Amino acid sequence: MSSNIQSQFGVNVLDVIKIQYKTRIIFDYVQSCYTVSYIQKGEVLTTSSEGEYVASAGDVMIHRPNEPFNVISKRDGVHYLFNINATVGAGDDFFKLFPLGKVIRVRDRDVYERKFDELRSLWLQEEDDLRNVQVGSLVFYLLYEIVESTKHGGRRASRDPAVTDRFNEALQFMEDRLDQEITREELAKLYHMNPVYFSRAFQKIYKLTPMQMLRKLRLQHAKQLLESTDYTMEHISGRCGFYDASHFSKAFQTVYGKGPSEYRKSIKFTKTSIASP
C-alpha cells in the first residue's frame, strides 16, 4: 500500500536568531513578516491590538506583520526566534487558516529547544538545496509543535486588567508626592515605557488617565485633611499639590458638590451631633 502526498505548505524563512539581553524594551515595532519568538529564559510583557499578555520561559509569542507591538522586560532573558512568511495551498496565509493565540505555552520545552538549535545550526551553514529543505522542514516541525501545544491547553489568555497590580508602583509614587509636580513622562519612566502607551495602558485598567488619577488622589487626601485637621485652606492646597486655595476650592466642589469650607463645617456638625447625648 502506498500514498502519494503532495505538500501544500510553503515557507520563506527570513532569519533565525538567538537574542540574549539584560533588559528588552521595544515600542510600536512594525515588521513585514511573522516573528515566532520562543522565550528560553525570562519574562516579558507584550502588547498589541489583540491585548496585553505576560509571556515567560516556555512560551511562544507570535508577532504578526504590519501590526505594531511592544515588548518590555526588566530582567535577563534569552529568546529563540525566526522570521517567516508561511502559506498553505494556493498561497493562503498559514496563520490565518490556523489562527493561534498571541502567546502559547509549548507542550515540550526540551524538544522545541533541541529542534530550534538544529534549525539555528543549519541556518548558519552555507546555503544549498539540501540545507534549504532541511531548514523548511524544521520550521514546519516547530510550527507543528506550536499548533499541537494549543490542543493541550497551551493557549494563554490575555491578562485580566481588573486584577492586575501592574501600576501599583506608579500609584505609590503619586501618593508619596502629592505636593509635588508630577508629569506623565515621569511616571512612564518608572516602567521604561513610552508616555503615550503608558497612559493608554493605565487608563485601560483604572478608567482614568494618570493625571486624572493624580487629581483624584490629591482630592481624596485633601478630604481626609479637612476631616481630621484644622489646617487652613492654603496649607491643604499646598499639601495636595494645587496651585492655590482658589483652584483647590473649585476642584473640590466639582467633585464633592461642596466647597472645602462648607464640607468641613458639615463634618464638624455631624461629629457634634454624634457626640451629643
Question: What CATH code is carried by the domain that includes residue 203?
Answer: 1.10.10.60
Whether 259 and 195 map to the same domain: the answer is: yes
| pLDDT tens-digit series, residues 7-44 | 677 889 999 999 988 888 888 888 889 999 999 999 99
* Residues 137 and 173 both lie in one domain: no
Q: What is the pLDDT of residues 92-119, one digit of tens each?
A: 888 887 778 889 999 999 999 999 999 9
Distance separating alpha carbons of residues 71 and 63, to the nearest angstrom: 10
Q: Does one domain contain both 100 and 177? A: no
179 within some domain: yes
Answer yes or no: is 91 within a domain.
yes
Whether 162 maps to a domain, the answer reads no
**Which residues of the chain have a pLDDT value below 50?**
1-6, 160-164, 271-277
Query: What gap in Å lies between CA 250 and CA 259, rounded to an integer?
Result: 7
Same domain, 100 and 188: no
pLDDT at 191: 84
For residue 85, what are the domain limits?
9-151
In the block, residue with C-alpha cell 496563520? 95
Please tell me the predicted confidence (pLDDT) of residue 276. Answer: 45
Q: What is the reported pTM?
A: 0.60
Domain annotation covers residue 100: yes
Q: Per the domain annotation, does 140 fall within a domain?
A: yes
Alpha-carbon distance of 87 to 13, in angstroms, equals 12
Whether 156 maps to a domain, the answer reads no
Q: Are 175 and 94 in a shared domain? A: no
Q: 140 and 237: one domain?
A: no
Do 140 and 13 belong together in one domain? Answer: yes
pLDDT value of residue 274: 39
Listing from the earlier edge strand, what are the strands of the sheet with 24-29? 24-29, 69-73, 43-48, 51-56
Residues 18 and 124 placed together within one structural domain of the fold: yes
Q: Per the structure, how many domains does the chain have? A: 2
CA angle 174, 178, 181 (to 5 degrees): 90
Q: Are residues 243 and 198 in the same domain?
A: yes
Last residue of a domain, one of 124, 151, 178: 151
For residues 224 and 118, membership in a common domain is answered with no
Instruction: Report how far residue 220's alpha carbon sits from residue 260's, in angstroms, rounded to the nearest whole number.
Output: 12
